[in-house]
Chain A
Amino acid sequence: MSEAEKPGSKSLPIGGILVKPGSSIEYKTGDWRAFRPTLDEKKCTGCLICWIYCPDSAIIRKPPIVAINYEFCKGCGICANECPVKAITMVEEGA
């Protein structure tokens, strides 16, 4: 949405209240990322520890392994840190 298309103070609900639930799905936080988790599919055992730990639910179950949703992954690195088989490595974005 361009700046001009965004609602102004008079049409926004008061106090920045979000009057409909579920809108965070529209807020893509992937562009906050400085480091990108990359998955070595050969090493992944599908143990789902990363899936449990990810604070943004950006790990997707893709049996027998997992995948990463880069639209929401903020690149915090928790998955890489927790992976018991070192299947995830953090790579600098744009590198």
Chain B
Amino acid sequence: MAKVIGLTGDHAIAYAAKQCDVDVVAAYPITPQTIIVERFSDYVANGEVKTEYVCVESEHSAMSACVGASTTGARVFTATSSQGLALMHEILYIASSLRCPIVMAVVNRALSAPINIHCDHSDMMGSRDCGWIQLYSENAQEAYDLTIQAFKIAEDPEILLPVTVNLDGFIISHCMEGVNVISDEEVRKFLPPRKAVYKLDPANPITIGALCFTDYYFEIKFQQEDVMKKVPAKVKEVGEEFGKITGRSYGLIETFGLEDAEVAVMCLGSTAGTARVVADKLRKSGKPVGVIKVRLYRPFPTQEIVEAVKGLKALTVLDRVATSGAPSGPLCSDVKTALYAETEKPLITNVIYGLGGRDISPENLEDIFNDALRTADVGRVDRPIKYVGVRE
């Protein structure tokens, strides 16, 4: 039975992890950690879950403990944010390369310096090539839904890769929404206990994490490239199966107004909600605008994006991360690469916004849409990168 309860994004994720009956949570409980693991520790203390909760001394140790637990065949969950994710960086690669299907919530926040605890995507983008499947949520509902789906994607014997469920710091993590939750029974049915393909077991000894030099390393890394190709179809399949239970079906991207749009804005996370409201208003005044929200960022849904932008005259890609010398932000670079071989493609502008939690207002987005319409009109990109919301 579905019910609606008031939950912050953090609490929604902890609630989902509880329902997923995880065996091990390893986490470091001090800033920049979030309330996700705090709520989860309440569940442990109250006896609501049988999870082994390992309170470690750093995020580096948290992810190390998660890898160790995962290799024994356990279902493993953790959460982190900003500097914490940065400290895990080294072990993120080990988790994906050893094919540990760990699920981690990443509350996206800025990296220091200056010290800042608010939203941007610098943390995850700093580790974007770590070999994890990366999902971005728009609100607490999606964060809850994606957490449950993440375990099913990660633990699939065809996949066996870790997954991050990203949610915007404070905007989603700390704001309360009405969240539709499904029953524990429904979650159990959707997500049976993990069946490990390989696991550390004294009765059947194996070696995980052995030395692998010039003669085999490339082959092992190529396996990861290969399995990433199977991920989009799996994410779609799991998203659709989830939809059959809940009525909330999920794909790789989500579009709004694209059927007749001439220009569109593309983004990750909570900004998509604001963009949709603004696009709806502009469309009512006759402006042909649309929105593309990217839910699956790694592996990059190249084919879906190529299809989605067909017919657009201009596309503005929003990046909530500093580029620091790159030709464009990471999402924009990916989109440009994805479209390079296409003969017909929209004019692409990159907008950098919202660093360190700087708000992006509906007015900002209206300007961005109007700029894109002007670009489409004149037929050329005057400024490939624009910084929106910063004082010069």
Contact = CB atoms under 8 A, between A and B. Distances in A.
Contacts of A8: 219
A6 to B, nearest CB: 6
Contact of B198 (A9, A10, A14): A14
A72 B222 CA distance: 30
Contact of B210 (A7, A9, A16): A16
B99 A9 contact: no
The A interface, classified by DSSP as helix, strand, loop or mixed, is loop
Contact of A17 (B208, B217, B222, B226): B208
Contacts of B208: 15, 17-18
The B interface, classified by DSSP as helix, strand, loop or mixed, is loop
B211 to A, nearest CB: 9
Given A6-B215, A6-B216, A12-B216, A17 B206 contact: yes
A95 interface: no
A21 B222 contact: no
B216 A17 contact: no
A25 interface: no
B207 A21 contact: yes
Contact of A15 (B215, B222, B223, B226): B223
A19 B222 contact: no
Contacts of A23: 207
- Interface size on B, as a range, is 20 to 34
A94 to B, nearest CB: 23
Contacts of B223: 9-10, 12, 14-15
A7 B219 CA distance: 9
A10 B225 CA distance: 12
B55 interface: no
A13 B223 CA distance: 9
Given A9-B226, A13-B198, A18 B210 contact: yes
A23 to B, nearest CB: 8
B97 interface: yes
B212 interface: yes
Nearest to B206: A19
A21 B206 CA distance: 6
Nearest to B98: A15
Interface of B: 97-99, 160, 197-198, 205-210, 212, 215-217, 219-220, 222-223, 226-227
26 contacts: A8-B219, A9-B219, A9-B220, A9-B223, A10-B223, A12-B216, A13-B198, A14-B99, A14-B223, A15-B160, A15-B198, A15-B220, A16-B98, A16-B210, A16-B212, A16-B220, A17-B99, A17-B206, A17-B210, A18-B206, A18-B207, A19-B206, A20-B206, A21-B205, A21-B207, A23-B207
